[in-house]
Structure 1
Amino acid sequence: MKLKPLIFSILILFAVCAEAKPPKLTAHTTYKKSEEILKGHVSCKEMTPEIARRTLKNFLNELDPTKTYLLASEVEKWTEPSEELVDKIIQNYKKERFELYEKIYQVMVGAIHRRNDLEEKIKGLLSPESAKNIDFKAVKWAQNERELEERLLALRALQLETADKLEVDSKEQFMQRLSKRRSSREEEVIQGGKKKLQNKQMFAYFLKSLCGGLDNHTVYFTPQEANQFMVQVQQRLFGIGAQLRDDLTGFTLVRLLDGGPALRDGKLKAGDKIIAVDHEPVVGMDIVEAVSLIRGPKGTAVNLTILRETGEKFDTEVVRDEIVLKETRFETAKLPYGNGVIAHIRLFSFYQDSTASAATDIKEAIEAIKKEDNLQGVILDLRGNAGGILPTAVAVTGLFIQKGVVVSIKDSGGNIQHLRNFSSDVSWDGPLLVLTNKGSASAAEIVAQTLQDYGRAILVGDPYTWGKGSYQTFTLEAGNIHKVNPQGEYKVTRGLYYTVSGKSPQLTGTKVDVEVPGSLTELEIGESFAKFPLENDEISPNFVDNLYDIHPFHRRKMMRLYSKNRQEYVDLYGSYLPALKKNSSLRIEQNKNYQNFLKELRKEEFDPETAERYGQNDLQLEESLNIMKDLILMLQAG
């Protein structure tokens, strides 16, 4: 099933928010950064004709992803460029000249003005009934203004339909928000009509387009995006600890986070509206800009002008602090079984900072459960876990195995480095299931596949995981979140990783032992659906580890520390798998709710965002729990 819900195809394409200022890029710095990215990439080392074509195509899509601005006649010479044009692009690039991209950019500026004229023209017109048949991800460039006008009407109809699906209070306010986002995105391009600023923004789009032409995981970040990326990786930020909603007349505090300064001070409450930050009005400002004003270094103060629902208006000063988004890091639950419990540990990312990490948090959670209850089994839930910090993934794996290779990294030169678990302090050596889905990627696949390789865990869930077996390096280090390069940052794919069996999940994903369908099972998502994925690869297994990748000077000393309590392959569960599969299949077949859920999955309009749980039950987790119960009984029976 293809992912075509209206919420995905319409809203997300317009959710790219503008930033107040473009990165401080010039032709020279753009060329220099481009060369750094190319030289660091695992396979694409120079600007070839193929990379030039990809970059040009991506540039058009960066400017007009929904194809609701530019006309076919305006882009036809660039969508299928001649060899002569490609050669000219490469030669100009080597001379640090970007005239062609400047020309395309100015065409887009004109198209924005035309789009705004058309929006005014169609304000009072009725929307077509056939709009739902248009897939804006597959649509071609409009042939003329009339076709473009019809497309905008269809887009409006889909947006209104989405408003119905989301059950928003006011369709008018919903449409105003979308219009505001569109205007912000347009202003990002127009930059107040200032040519110098437009060129800087154009260079940012060029870098994004170049990176997107190398592979799916090489990315250029503007300074603002780099900060946001670090928040996602670490699940921590510095600010007041509040979730905001754009209400057009200000930003409403929807929720005050536990432990955050906004809640701690007691001066603010949910429903309050921020109308100015440090006496600068934020009404009409994009929410990303407003948030960037509110965030800042720990210990600094920010003045907020508040409008309360009662009509009271006042200023309050809040001292910024570090906010750890614990609810998006991990969660645990104890599920009663027999004379003990089964632990469900849901890990959303492999985080690590100066005060906590995924490994230490999980270790402490397991120890706490063992102290209070008779722990009989652990379900490590990595669904939707897109990865994180690689050494943290190694440490999490080490909670369940003794010493040994966890992951191997091979760079573009063929050099292999092993990342090992050096601790024999196993937190849990009993029955272990790892629950994955098609959204489990990168570090999550390392942990799942390594535990499977050693025979230490049974994998359950969607048939296979995402398939990201490449590793990237990021130019911004974790400790420098407030030292972002004003020219932007980037992450670049440098090689592939492999688990101890020598297999890489790249492209193919990690195959589970027992298939348990979930909300993502039927979706066409994953590395195999990326534009330019790297191929799968294998190296020799590393169950026998002689530390050959370590310098001889250190090898002997490390071998003394590493030689005892090594993790070997153990076939703990192989004899039980046929029965576990059969029992699970029968339960799913006989569960009417599950069968109805599977029918919904196969529908074209199925939306996983709103249907992660069906009938208020997490059916995938429930069945995983049943498999664990079966496994415990089988192990006890011998």
Structure 2
Amino acid sequence: MRNLSRLMLCLTFFASSLFGQDITSREVNEVFGEMMRLHVQHRTLTPVLLKRAYKLFLEQFDSSKIYLLENEVVPYFEMTDGKLRKAIDRLDKGDLSDFMKLRSLVQKGAVRARSLRAEMQKELILSAHDSVASTGESYLSFPKSERELRGRIHKLLVRALLEEQKAAPAADWNPTARAKVFALFERRFQRIEVPYLESGTRSDHFLATQSLRALAKCLDAHSAYFSPEEATEMRTSLEKQFEGVGVVLREGVEGIQVVNLVKGGPAERSGRVQPGDLLVEVAGQPVEGLTYEQVLDAMKGRGKKELQLGLKRRGSEEVIRVSLAREKIAMQADRLRIEAEPIGSGIIGRVTLPSFYEGGHLTSAERDFREALKQLKKQGELKGLVLDMRENSGGFLSQAVKVAGLFIARGVIVISKYGQGEVRYLRNLDGRLFFDGPMVVLTSKASASAAEIVAQALQDYGAALVVGDERTYGKGTIQYQTVTDQSARAFYKVTVGRYYTASGRSTQIDGVIADIKIPSEFSAYNIGERFLEYPLENDRVPAAFVDPLTDIDGKSRSWFQRNYLPNLQKPQARFQKMVPQLA
């Protein structure tokens, strides 16, 4: 159900397209070779890696195990090293014939599933009996027979029907209404299937994209290849801004609806667009008959600064036409938030930091954090600070270093080690402390990557106590990415190194261990690097509380020795000593 659920609700901000072009099958070897040259561990494609890639290619299409049979996939999952080495030789020559065979298998599964769904939908539409839902199921293995496959598809269709009925219990669920539900779900299925079934130029591009996805992910849990559309979404997420009109859309039974408005965006400011409105026109053209993707493409505005939408309000046939400016919109809801709690003659401040973002228009986590501290201090004496990163999954490494540097005057924040053994030190040289009082960092199993850097760096220096789940997510690797480079030919991220904090500890696999354990809402779930496929192992490097300056050139080293080393912040345990009384 994972592929299907991703299509259930599209939070579409209509970010402007990146400049990447469609990749072709002839370029797969070149792009993957570039990724391998950068990778921290794997520099050549081995039989083990290629077998992983075959498995990933099939599972990225059929992660829900509702298309392919066990006897169809096992030959690829159990392929001998000899056959895999021959396949590597072919791939080295730019021959994608082995991935083409995988695509043929996927096409067979897609055509079969379409036929089975059509047969079952007819029965369910005309059935006079209410369907009974089975409990939500996920499958760890592929079905052993077509009979088992039919059973899985039938359960899926019944659940789809009942979910829509649950959302609108007062509606008359006659055969016509049931047919509309299945038409909606069939469109969602086809979004998964059609790219594999297409022919021509688009087919070649999609084969190249899916092959690169599988090859990238076989390297480790965090290396990945992205289509231009996915790169746009990822860039928006990292930079916390996008260009558009500020509407969030969802495809439903009756059509494409506005489900939310972005706070402060053109649609909200106009006062004429409401959640629940049905989208019927874009730029003067009716959307009836268009696929959801075609509607989203029309929303990009073709470079125009203004976009006209035609909307129908619930219960009315009148078309409301609204002209909206397309503009840069900051995602305020995903930026830092502050609260203050009075205590004695002062306050305790709480800063909730959802990610380590960095974008244009002076948008960055560090800048927002500095401003938050100023605002809190204006409200009264700041007697304590709570930094809430329980749902912070990371972001820009540079921002993590800068945020940690607000509480560590001078010293190493992060040690990074790369594939050729090169070690670099990311330091704070500012010399100022923006807050030096009692501080608690709230973490959970969902706190990851850059959030773990900050939590463990503050823990290393004794600047804060870490409170939350026993350990955080456990992502301690560094990725190089081309997503934010609009001139990139291909969009990917690849693991190029590992990071450690000043103590020499890595958060990889182990995460940040809490000083005081208080379970979060995520504590009961198997969340973390250790539960992913193909994670890199944990290791350590020498501590760097006394900075070795080994990455500083000779000309600069004398300045660091005179002005930096004598003033290094020393680790302290003033808060950690209180743990027995606090825990």
After superposition, the Cα gap between the structure-2 partners of 1:264 and 1:127, relative to the gap in structure 1 and judged at 3 Å, is closer
- CA displacement at 1:42 relative to structure 2: 0.7
What residue is the counterpart of 1:589 in the other structure? none
From 546, 557, 563, the equivalent of 1:544 is 546
What residue is the counterpart of 1:132 in the other structure? 135
Greater shift, 325-334 or 178-187, is seen at 178-187
Please say if residues 32 and 212 of structure 2, whose CA atoms lie closer than 8 Å, have aligned partners that are also in contact: yes
What residue is the counterpart of 1:387 in the other structure? 394
Map residues 67-466 of structure 1 onto 2, 5 A cutoff: 67-123=65-121, 124=123, 131-132=134-135, 134-136=137-139, 138=140, 140-159=141-160, 177-191=184-198, 194-283=199-288, 285=290, 287=292, 290-295=295-300, 300-309=305-314, 310-354=316-360, 355-466=362-473
Please say if residues 415 and 425 of structure 2, whose CA atoms lie closer than 8 Å, have aligned partners that are also in contact: yes
Please say if residues 25 and 207 of structure 2, whose CA atoms lie closer than 8 Å, have aligned partners that are also in contact: no
Map residues 449-528 of structure 1 onto 2, 5 A cutoff: 449-477=456-484, 480=486, 483=487, 485=489, 488-528=490-530
Q: Distance in 2 between matches of 1:570 and 1:42?
A: 33
Q: Any idea what the Cα deviations from partners look like across 1:522-554, whole Å, max 9, x if unmatched?
A: 211100111101010111111011422111122
Please say if residues 298 and 320 of structure 1, whose CA atoms lie closer than 8 Å, have aligned partners that are also in contact: no
Match of 1:146, SS?
Answer: helix
Q: Distance in 2 between matches of 1:506 and 1:169?
A: 51
Q: Distance in 2 between matches of 1:461 and 1:275?
A: 48
- CA displacement at 1:228 relative to structure 2: 0.4
Greater shift, 427-436 or 286-295, is seen at 286-295
- CA displacement at 1:109 relative to structure 2: 1.8
Q: Distance in 2 between matches of 1:168 and 1:343?
A: 45
- CA displacement at 1:430 relative to structure 2: 0.6
Q: Distance in 2 between matches of 1:159 and 1:517?
A: 34
- CA displacement at 1:294 relative to structure 2: 2.3
Greater shift, 452-461 or 57-66, is seen at 57-66
After superposition, the Cα gap between the structure-2 partners of 1:502 and 1:57, relative to the gap in structure 1 and judged at 3 Å, is same
What residue is the counterpart of 2:55 in the other structure? 57
Please say if residues 243 and 326 of structure 2, whose CA atoms lie closer than 8 Å, have aligned partners that are also in contact: yes
Aligned partner of 2:135: which letter?
Answer: K
Aligned partner of 2:154: which letter?
Answer: L
Greater shift, 240-249 or 371-380, is seen at 240-249
Match of 1:122, SS?
Answer: helix
After superposition, the Cα gap between the structure-2 partners of 1:231 and 1:104, relative to the gap in structure 1 and judged at 3 Å, is same
Match of 1:47, SS?
Answer: coil
Please say if residues 418 and 498 of structure 2, whose CA atoms lie closer than 8 Å, have aligned partners that are also in contact: yes
Q: Any idea what the Cα deviations from partners look like across 1:186-243, whole Å, max 9, x if unmatched?
A: 122223xx24422321111111111111111001000000000111111211101122
After superposition, the Cα gap between the structure-2 partners of 1:373 and 1:255, relative to the gap in structure 1 and judged at 3 Å, is same
After superposition, the Cα gap between the structure-2 partners of 1:29 and 1:557, relative to the gap in structure 1 and judged at 3 Å, is same
User: Are 1:31 and 2:67 an aligned pair?
Assistant: no
Greater shift, 312-321 or 296-305, is seen at 296-305
- CA displacement at 1:247 relative to structure 2: 3.0
Please say if residues 468 and 519 of structure 2, whose CA atoms lie closer than 8 Å, have aligned partners that are also in contact: yes
Q: Any idea what the Cα deviations from partners look like across 1:407-453, whole Å, max 9, x if unmatched?
A: 01100111111111111222211110000000000000000000000
Q: Distance in 2 between matches of 1:132 and 1:502?
A: 47
After superposition, the Cα gap between the structure-2 partners of 1:259 and 1:114, relative to the gap in structure 1 and judged at 3 Å, is same
Match of 2:189, SS?
Answer: helix
Q: Any idea what the Cα deviations from partners look like across 1:239-295, whole Å, max 9, x if unmatched?
A: 011222223444322332232122234443433332232345434655555344424
User: Are 1:46 and 2:44 an aligned pair?
Assistant: yes
Please say if residues 469 and 523 of structure 2, whose CA atoms lie closer than 8 Å, have aligned partners that are also in contact: yes
Please say if residues 9 and 135 of structure 1, whose CA atoms lie closer than 8 Å, have aligned partners that are also in contact: no
Q: Distance in 1 between matches of 2:242 and 2:508?
A: 31
- CA displacement at 1:516 relative to structure 2: 0.3
What residue is the counterpart of 2:5 in the other structure? 12
* Seq. identity, %: 32
Please say if residues 10 and 158 of structure 1, whose CA atoms lie closer than 8 Å, have aligned partners that are also in contact: no
Please say if residues 507 and 536 of structure 1, whose CA atoms lie closer than 8 Å, have aligned partners that are also in contact: yes
Structure 2: where are the runs of 5+ without partners?
none
What residue is the counterpart of 1:611 in the other structure? none
Please say if residues 351 and 357 of structure 1, whose CA atoms lie closer than 8 Å, have aligned partners that are also in contact: yes
Aligned partner of 2:542: which letter?
Answer: S
Q: Distance in 2 between matches of 1:298 and 1:520?
A: 43
Please say if residues 128 and 154 of structure 1, whose CA atoms lie closer than 8 Å, have aligned partners that are also in contact: no
After superposition, the Cα gap between the structure-2 partners of 1:284 and 1:46, relative to the gap in structure 1 and judged at 3 Å, is farther
Q: Alignment RMSD, CA only?
A: 2.8
Q: Distance in 2 between matches of 1:264 and 1:13?
A: 29
Aligned partner of 1:72: which letter?
Answer: E
After superposition, the Cα gap between the structure-2 partners of 1:413 and 1:578, relative to the gap in structure 1 and judged at 3 Å, is same
Match of 2:135, SS?
Answer: helix
Aligned partner of 1:75: which letter?
Answer: V
Aligned partner of 2:539: which letter?
Answer: D
Q: Distance in 2 between matches of 1:151 and 1:371?
A: 60
Please say if residues 109 and 190 of structure 1, whose CA atoms lie closer than 8 Å, have aligned partners that are also in contact: yes
Greater shift, 313-322 or 571-580, is seen at 313-322
Match of 1:334, SS?
Answer: strand
Please say if residues 239 and 298 of structure 1, whose CA atoms lie closer than 8 Å, have aligned partners that are also in contact: no
Aligned partner of 2:146: which letter?
Answer: E
- CA displacement at 1:10 relative to structure 2: 8.0
- CA displacement at 1:130 relative to structure 2: 8.7
Please say if residues 249 and 284 of structure 1, whose CA atoms lie closer than 8 Å, have aligned partners that are also in contact: no
Q: Distance in 1 between matches of 2:565 and 2:302?
A: 46
Q: Distance in 2 between matches of 1:376 and 1:297?
A: 53
Q: Distance in 2 between matches of 1:490 and 1:368?
A: 39
- CA displacement at 1:519 relative to structure 2: 1.1
After superposition, the Cα gap between the structure-2 partners of 1:336 and 1:176, relative to the gap in structure 1 and judged at 3 Å, is farther
Please say if residues 131 and 162 of structure 2, whose CA atoms lie closer than 8 Å, have aligned partners that are also in contact: no
After superposition, the Cα gap between the structure-2 partners of 1:77 and 1:504, relative to the gap in structure 1 and judged at 3 Å, is same
Structure 1: where are the runs of 5+ without partners?
1-7, 582-638
Match of 2:368, SS?
Answer: helix
Match of 1:203, SS?
Answer: helix
